[in-house]
Structure formats: C-alpha cells, structure tokens
Structure 1
C-alpha cells in the first residue's frame, strides 16, 4: 500500500483527495449504518451468527478515513 505524506502533495491534489475521501467516507458510513440496522434485525429474527461482526470489523476503516480527512484539512489550513 502506498503511503503519501500530505505535506508533499500539491494543494490541488489535496483538494481532490479531500473531495473524493469525503464522498467515499459518506457512502461508507451510510452502508455501515445499514449493515448495523440489518444485523440488529437478523439477530432478533435468526439469532447471532459470525457474520454479525462484519460491521464492527469495518468500523476502524471509517475512523482511519476520518483521521485522514482531518490531516488533509490541517494541511490545507496551514497553507493559507
């Protein structure tokens, strides 16, 4: 996996990455919320299964994306 330092990116690249990450993060959060809701329904109807931990396992990805958004925002503010 390629790791990039936000300080080495141009302002245009940062803005583009910020917009893309916001969209992806929003869609991912909505899908994750739907998974949580569906899992609650499935637990009540059929009981607990191993698949019920999937939304919990995907939650760190959402937090990592949010932290990257904060870092991009800090970098953009430092350049103004």
Structure 2
C-alpha cells in the first residue's frame, strides 16, 4: 500500500481495504506456494538457475501485506 495513515481513513474505507487485502494475500499465498513447488520440480529436473530465486524475492511483499493487515485490524479494534 502507499503511505496512507490508517488513522486518517474512515471505518468503511478500512473495512474495504481489509477485505481487499485479505483476498490479495490469499491469492498471493497460493501463487507463491505454486512457485515454490514448481521451483523444486525444476531444480530436480534441470538444476539450479537464477530464476529459482523469484519466490524467495517475493516473500517480503507477503510480509508487508500481512503487516498492513494487522495494522488495519488494530485500528478497527481501537475504534470499537
């Protein structure tokens, strides 16, 4: 996400962002898992190449999304 402060967003915007981020994370996790499995297969069949690093390089995106999701949840709980 861009540099948005969750405290400046309305509750409706936070809920919308939370739902969107959950869906994006779910799809991203599935794709990342498939990439790891395919990489293992490729490593055993053809050997290691520079392309095998891609799933590892994409992991920080997942962690950032999870961090943002946790911050949104924290902000929503503080508003109750």
Match of 1:71 in 2: 71
- TM-score after normalising by structure 1: 0.98
For 1:2 and 1:18, the matched residues in 2 are separated by 14
Instruction: Could you list the structure 1 runs, at least 4 aligned residues long, displaced by more than 2 angstroms after superposition.
Output: none
Count how many residue pairs are aligned between Structure 1 and Structure 2.
80
Structure 1 residues 69 and 2: alpha-carbon distance in aligned structure 2, compared to 1, 3 A threshold: closer
Counterparts of 1:1-80 in structure 2, within 5 Å, are 2-80=2-80
Structure 2, unmatched stretches of 5+, are: none
For 1:79 and 1:2, the matched residues in 2 are separated by 22
RMSD over aligned CA atoms reads 1.0
